[in-house]
Amino acid sequence: MAYAIALDGPAGAGKSTIARRVAEKLGILYLDTGAMYRAIGVKAVAQGLSPKDEAAVGTLLESTDLDIRFVAGAQEVWLDGVNVSEAIRTPEASRAASDVSTLPVVRRALVDLQRKIASRQSLIMDGRDIGTHVLPDAKHKFFLTASVEERAHRRLLDLQNRGNQTVTLAEVRADIEYRDRQDSERAFAPLRQAEDAVLVDTTNLTIEEVVQTILGLIESR
């Protein structure tokens, strides 16, 4: 029987890395919902639209083909027939994603797609409102957090590993602080810990320690 694991938390808390590793250990899929918002945000900006303009972005969605594919267990994001999986991994895409994610019209469309994917197979899904809004009945729920300093360092390292050698720590930290405000203060499905989610502070933990903590909690239930 298919089951879901919800993994929420602020930007840079390690959700994607942890979710991917947990998925590998359990032999299930990992759905990166943030990538979906990044794709919509990138398209909006590319077409000269404000990612905060709900009417304009809503119209854009009507002519947008967003396809999530899994190749050998890895997620690919296809936007209007083009694989944008790597192109959306920039600070600019991150900020655009935070902006479009505040728009109810975008969240409704993407949440519907996320739920459809979750209904077909067991998976772990990470985001900001998975346990509270997208999959409120998820079998397992976790909320990851870490200090702003630690999250900025992690995100910078990730960007550098992806080939971005020009971004600075100050820029990454500013982006994370901006996203924290956007995610926590938005009116529709804001970032918050679900009442039945387990809080895991990853500030002083290695990736493997976090993975083993989550796996242990899953196995104990």
Instruction: pLDDT tens for the chain, 221 residues: list them.
Output: 789 999 999 988 999 999 999 999 999 999 999 999 999 999 999 999 999 999 999 999 999 999 999 998 889 999 999 999 999 998 899 899 989 999 999 999 999 999 999 999 999 999 999 999 999 999 999 999 999 999 999 999 988 998 888 999 999 999 999 889 988 888 888 899 999 999 999 999 999 999 999 999 999 87
Amino acid of residue 135 = L
CA end-to-end distance (rounded Å), the chain = 16
Count of residues in the chain: 221
Pairing of strands 66-71, 140-145: unpaired
Residue 146's domain spans which residues?
4-219
With CA atoms as reference, report the closest residue to 218 among 82, 27, 78, 22. Answer: 22
Q: How far apart are CA 17 and CA 158, in angstroms?
A: 10
Q: How far apart are CA 1 and CA 137, in angstroms?
A: 14
Which CATH number goes with the domain that contains 63?
A: 3.40.50.300
**Which token pair is 35?**
């990538």
Q: How far apart are CA 50 and CA 45, in angstroms?
A: 6
DSSP state of 142: E
With CA atoms as reference, report the closest residue to 132 among 121, 123, 141. Answer: 141
How many independent structural domains does the chain possess? 1
Instruction: For residue range 31-50, list pLDDT tens digits in order.
Output: 999 999 999 999 999 999 99
Residue 91, pLDDT score? 85
DSSP H helical ranges for 27-69: 33-46, 54-62
Task: Determine if the pTM surpasses 0.95.
Answer: no
H/E run at residue 32: strand 29-32
